[in-house]
Amino acid sequence: MQVDVLLGLQWGDEGKGKIVDVLCPKYDLIARFQGGPNAGHTLEFDNKKFVLNTIPSGIFNKNTLNLIGNGVVIDPIILKKELDGLKEAKVDPIAEKNLVIARKAHLILPTHQLLDAASESKMGSAKIGSTLKGIGPTYMDKTGRNGLRVGDTTLSNFKEKYEKLKEKHLNILSHYGEIPDFEEKEAAFFEAIDFLRTIPHVDSEHLVNRYLDEGKKVLAEGAQGTLLDIDFGSYPFVTSSNTTTAGACTGLGIAPNRIGKVIGIFKAYCTRVGGGPFPTELDDEVGEKLRKLGHEFGATTGRSRRTGWVDIPALKYAIMLNGVTDLVIMKADVLDTFEEIKVCTKYNYDGEVIDYMPYDINSIKPEPIFETKEGWNADTTLIRKKEEVPEKLKTYIKYLEKTLGKPITYLSVGPDRKQTIKL
């Protein structure tokens, strides 16, 4: 058995949570492999809406085990809040025994968040637009070999380790200016750590490999998007983890030859939240229309998302990096009332026409070259079967499949679980 991977091909918020929820009945295990509560994965069904930050999106299926992998960074306070929220909705993963957490996952401390905020406030116009959840500083401590891990919470010297790391953070923070009060947060942190101890801790590498050896089906759930990858994204306007398929190997403990299908999710247009380059961005009424119809406001921070047309060179780059085998097109319904749809196929870049994403898109802006496609001008939100898809939307999908060189296996026409069509 091999692990299938599902991840975003753009700058995040492609609709990963929705599709994991749709596909999870086919899997025995859903495993988040990187990122942290900077993610917001939205699921809608039975007139209910849930936003998950740390918990994998298979949590509503009682028969699926959900693993928070070692590559994830965990804010215990947020995780507790998520679980409390689920409990209010009569979903109790601890009682159902369908949530486990990797011992090797790193912890986000209250002072990691202070460091995130302090660092961003000094950046001026070069701000990354971080979600300020402490993601960058936590991964820095992980690679700096200072981090605290979930497994440490069961050791007798946990408090000592915490104090040592906190001291280090306070020392750094003192160089930024006055340190905000965080006593309340610290109390909440320790309360949440007690709670974290009640969630079963596992060795993700052993669990996932055992599942595969037993012939069970595993889906790895990515967070953020390929263009936010620490190595291959629009650096430095990226997140601090490998959001690409390779991240599933290190973020769970599986060998590269155990990767099976790679399901790449993309919107029929494109969005980005936070700072950094966005070649196809629309700063006009069309962009505003996409934002309004697509409800493009962040699931985690509520920030307004930047909008633009689909970017083929960027998608091809993402498909290559991830070894995508199957594509899923999201939010096609948002384009239902558009007479024309634009697709960026190439860029004018530094006096040349190119069809790939160049190294530097920060100081030299790639100017998109668009092709115009006919819109389908029909309400797609009630479509449930492949046969009902309007001809012009089929033509658009065929065009994308041919251009991207991979099959589009699902079409999403609304936020609800039911608004998903197998192609």
Using CB under 6 A as the binding rule, whether residue 129 contacts ligand IMO is answered as yes
Size of the site for ligand GDP (CB under 6 A): 24
Which phi and psi angles does 374 have, rounded to 5°?
Answer: -75, 135
Q: Which positions from 113 through 132 interact with Mg ion, judged by CB under 5 A?
A: none
Residue 4 β-bridge partners: 219
Helix or strand holding residue 342 (H, E): strand 340-349
Binding segment (CB under 6 A) for ligand IMO, from list 104-112, 269-277, 321-329, 345-353: 269-277
In the complex with ligand GDP, the residue whose CB is nearer, 17 or 110, is 17
DSSP class of residue 109? P
Residue 119's binding partner out of ligand GDP, Mg ion, ligand IMO, none, with CB under 5 to 8 Å set by partner kind: none
- Residue 95 burial (10 A CB sphere; 0-12, 13-18, 19+): exposed
What's the rounded Cα separation, in Å, for the pair 220 and 214? 17
- Report, in this order, helix, strand and coil percent for the chain, each rounded to 5: 35, 25, 40
**What single string gives the DSSP state of each residue in 283-334?**
-SHHHHHHHHHTT-B-TTT-PBPEEE-EEHHHHHHHHHHHT--EEEEE-GGG
Least CB distance to ligand GDP at residue 401 (A): 18
In the complex with Mg ion, the residue whose CB is nearer, 86 or 114, is 86
Contact flags string 294-333 toward ligand IMO, x per CB under 6 A: -----x----------------------------------
Contact flags string 283-302 toward ligand GDP, x per CB under 6 A: -----------xx---x---
Residue 15's binding partner out of ligand GDP, ligand IMO, Mg ion, none, with CB under 5 to 8 Å set by partner kind: ligand GDP
Residue 7 β-bridge partners: 264
Q: Which positions from 32 through 71 interact with Mg ion, judged by CB under 5 A?
A: 40
Active site residue 350: no
Q: Which residues are CB-neighbours of 85 under 8 A, at least 6 positions away?
A: 50
Rounded (5°) CA angle 294-278-270: 25
In the complex with ligand IMO, the residue whose CB is nearer, 16 or 149, is 16
Out of 6, 7, 13, 413, the residue judged to bind Mg ion by CB under 5 A: 13
Q: Which positions from 316 through 355 interact with ligand GDP, judged by CB under 6 A?
A: 330-331, 333-334
- Other C-beta atoms closer than 10 Å to the C-beta of 370 total 15
Residue 102's binding partner out of ligand GDP, Mg ion, ligand IMO, none, with CB under 5 to 8 Å set by partner kind: none
Contact 165, 141 (CB under 8 A): yes
Binding segment (CB under 5 A) for Mg ion, from list 13-21, 88-96, 107-115, 211-219: 13-21
Using CB under 6 A as the binding rule, whether residue 44 contacts ligand GDP is answered as yes
Using CB under 6 A as the binding rule, whether residue 36 contacts ligand GDP is answered as no
Question: Distance between terminal CA atoms of the chain?
Answer: 25
Out of 98, 153, 224, 242, the residue judged to bind ligand IMO by CB under 6 A: 224
Out of 54, 240, 243, 412, the residue judged to bind ligand GDP by CB under 6 A: 412
Structure-token pair, residue 58: 């298979």
Active-site pick, 4, 21, 41, 106: 41
Active site residue 169: no
Residue 344 β-bridge partners: 311, 370
Catalytically active residues are 13, 41
Interacting residues toward Mg ion by CB under 5 A: 13, 40, 299
